[in-house]
Chains A and B, each alone.
Chain A
Amino acid sequence: MLKGVNRVLVGAAGVVLVGLGAAVLVGSLDLQRRWGLTLPSAWPFDGPRDVLLSRAAQTKWRGEGWWWPAVIAGLGVVVLLALWWLLAQVRRRRLRELVVDCGDGEEAVLRGRALEEAVCAEAEAQEGVERALVALLGRRTAPEARVGLTLAPHASPAVALSRLDGEALEHARVSAGVGRLPVEVRVRAVRHRAERVG
C-alpha cells in the first residue's frame, strides 16, 4: 500500500518538475520561434526576455475576497498531506495482536510479538540458519509476515527455505488459525572466509 502511494507521489513530483523545467527551458532557449512550435495562447512564457512570474501575475488575484482564504486552505491541505506522507515513511506498522478463530465460534487474541518470537526461535533452531528476523504486518484478521533469514556457512538456500516453509511458517499458519499467511523471505548469508574442505 505504502509502496504504491510512494511510487505514485514520487512519480507525480517528478512529472511536475520535468514539466515546469521543460516549460521554462522552451522559453529560455526561445524554442517556440527557433523550432516553430505552436504553443497554446495561454502559454505563460514568451521568449527569453519574459520573466517567471511578473508583478501583474503575482497580484492578479489579490483583490478577490476568496484569494487568501483559498491560498491558506490549499497550503494547509498540502502541509497536512505532506506531514502524513512523511510520517508514513518512518512508522513501522508491526502487527500488535491478531485474532485467532478457535473454531467454536469463540475468538482469541494472540500477541503479535509472541508469534514473531516463536517463529523466530524455531527458524533459528533450524540447521543452517544463523539468524532470523520475523515481523508480522498486515491486519489483525489478515496477517502477513516478513522474514529475514541469515544462512550459516555451507548451508543450502533452497533447503533452508523449504524447511522454513514446512516447519516454522507452517506452525505459524496453524497457530494463527489463518489459511493464508503471505510471507516474504529475504535470504542473506554470513560472510566467511573460503576454506578448503578436501
Chain B
Amino acid sequence: MSGIEGGGGGGGIEGGGGEAGGGVPGARRFWAVRRVPAFLVAAVVLGAAGLLLYDVAAVRAHRPAMEWRRRLAHELATRPLGDGWVVGGAVVAVVVGLWLVLLAVTPGLRSVLPMRPGRADLRAGIDRRAAALVLRDRAMEVSGVQSVRVKVGRHRVNVRAQSHFRDLDDVRADVKGVMVEGVRKLGLAREPGVSVRVGRPAKK
C-alpha cells in the first residue's frame, strides 16, 4: 500500500484520494445477496408449510386427509432408523445443511476484486475477467510479444506470453515490468502478485 500515487505520469488521476489505506470501508470484499439460495429455501418452506396447512385445514373441515399425509405418517411410524432410506435422507440433510451454512457465512462474488476507494462512500469492484482483458491489452504492447494469455486470480496474476523475436529474457523483463505497472494502475485495493512466463511459439 505504499506506492499508491505513483501511476507514472498519469497526472495523478488514478491516485484519487491517495492515502486511502486499508481501513476505508470500500476496501472490503463484496458480499453476495444470496438471492438464489434464499429463493429456493423460501420456496421449499412455503410449499411444504402451505400444503400441510391446506391439508390440516381440510381435515378440520371434516374432509379426508390427502393420501401422502397418511403415507408419510405411516412411514414415519414404521420405518426404523437403521433403514437405508432414513440414513440416506439424514446424510442428504446434513450435506445440504452444511452447504447452506457455507453459503451463509462466505462472501461469495469471488469474481469481483475490490478496487481502491477514492472516497468513503464509493465502493467499486472490477470483474477479474475485465482486469485480465485490460492487462492483456497492455502486455500486447510489449514489442516481441506475439500472443499472450492473462489469468487474474484473486491473489495472483498469471501471464503466459509467446514471443516470436527478441531475447526471451528481455521480453520477460519487459512484460513483467508492464504487468506490475498495469496491476498498479488497475487501482485494486489489494494488489495481486504477478508471475510471467514467456516462451517461443510452437513450430508449425
Measuring CB to CB, which residues of chain A are less than 8 angstroms from any residue of chain B? 2-3, 6-11, 13-22, 24-25, 27-30, 45, 47-55, 58, 68, 71-72, 75-76, 78-79, 82-83, 85-86, 89-90, 151, 153-159, 161-163, 165, 169, 180-189, 191-192, 194-198
Contacts and interface: CB of A to CB of B under 8 A. Distances in A.
17 contacts: A11-B101, A13-B41, A13-B97, A14-B103, A17-B97, A20-B93, A21-B93, A22-B90, A24-B90, A49-B80, A54-B77, A82-B42, A156-B185, A158-B185, A162-B14, A184-B124, A185-B124
Contact of B143 (A55, A82, A163, A198): A198
Given A17-B94, A28-B82, A157 B123 contact: no
Contacts of A13: 41, 45, 97, 100
Contact-residue size bin, chain B (C-beta under 8 Å from the other chain)? 35 or more
Contacts of B99: 14
A182 B87 CA distance: 50
Contact of A153 (B52, B97, B137, B148): B137
Contacts of A196: 140
Given A25-B94, A79-B50, A182-B121, A158 B81 contact: no
B76 A158 contact: no
B61 to A, nearest CB: 11
Interface of B: 10, 13-14, 16, 30-35, 37-39, 41-43, 45-46, 49-50, 52-53, 56-57, 60, 73, 76-82, 86-87, 89-94, 96-105, 112, 115-116, 118-119, 121-127, 129-131, 133-134, 136-137, 140-141, 143, 147-148, 185-187
Contact of A75 (B53, B124, B129, B136): B53
